[in-house]
Amino acid sequence: MSFPAELKYTKDHEWVRIEGNQATIGITSFAQGELGDIVFVEIETAGESLGLHEIFGTVEAVKTVSDLFMPVAGKVLEVNPGLEADPSVVNNDPYGAGWMIKVEIEASSDMSQLMDAAAYEALVG
């Protein structure tokens, strides 16, 4: 299982790619593997400002439904338009085409709570 070194991670299994004051967010390969085949992604928070750890959407897999949590406070700028037509892209390419939202970061202090790849790998063992 791979955890790209350029990303940051949360204990809730989201990854974050930080570019200036924007962040791209998705779920990790570990998370998608635990969920199984993803059949639906529901994100209806485009345009909303959400706080740290607030729910920004849900992922439905064959086995379960799981909430998605904001790893940083911010305004949801964009939801991945490809997820509606093909949610399985999250299973096939979680760090690339399977991204979920893009956010304008409101509090850079939130980033101190994020883990690097080595810490996340230690967490999931």
pLDDT tens digits along 24-35: 999 999 999 999
The answer to whether residue 57 sits within a structural domain is yes
Predicted model pTM: 0.95
pLDDT digits (tens, 9 = 90+) for 101-125: 999 999 777 788 899 999 999 999 8
**Domain total for the chain?**
1
Cα gap 73→109, rounded to integer Å: 10
Q: Does the structure show a pLDDT above 80 at 23? A: yes
List, in sequence order, every beta strand (DSSP E) within 2-98. Answer: 8-9, 14-19, 22-27, 38-42, 49-50, 55-61, 65-69, 74-79
Specify whether the CB–CB gap between 98 and 89 falls below 8 A.
yes
pLDDT of residue 87: 97
Cα gap 87→94, rounded to integer Å: 10
Specify whether the CB–CB gap between 12 and 69 falls below 8 A.
yes
The CATH number for 37's domain is 2.40.50.100
Q: Which domain holds residue 95?
A: 8-106
The answer to whether residue 119 sits within a structural domain is no
Q: Does the structure show a pLDDT above 80 at 63? A: yes
The answer to whether residue 24 sits within a structural domain is yes
The answer to whether residue 122 sits within a structural domain is no
pLDDT of residue 2: 80
The answer to whether residue 120 sits within a structural domain is no
